[in-house]
Homo-oligomer: A and B are copies of this chain.
């Protein structure tokens, strides 16, 4: 089948977001915060993680607070002062959450990418 979509197919990409929300639909943990938690764990520092991802410290700090406020316990152990100025490391719960979201996300990603290829095929020439 010949379709009018053909000329545009190379200019379309797929994008998606998956996140956990509370009962009222307020976002708790999504792709951005998840990536940030992983990078903080890796760097041991919120500031270093923000610098790398290009996010502002102010915004990211607020996002982390939102997650912790929802769950009611900390996901990060924070330290102020000291030779390095301070540091952040994941708590036991933080590690568990990141690990579970890792698995969830990579499964979802593979499935969605396949679905997108099928979709493009469906609106393309057969």
Question: Residues of A with Cβ closer than 8 Å to B?
Answer: 3-5, 7-8, 11-23, 25, 27-28, 70-73, 93, 96-97, 99-101, 103-104, 107-108, 111-112, 115-116, 118-119, 122-123
- The chain B residue with its CB closest to the CB of A106 is B115
| A12 cross-chain contacts in B, Cβ below 8 A | 20-22, 28
How many of these chains are in the complex?
Answer: 2
Q: How far is the CA of A101 from the CA of B99 in the complex (A)?
A: 31
A112 touches B22 (CB 8 A): no
- The chain B residue with its CB closest to the CB of A114 is B107
| A27 cross-chain contacts in B, Cβ below 8 A | 15
5 contacts between A and B (CB under 8 A): A13-B23, A14-B19, A16-B17, A96-B122, A103-B122
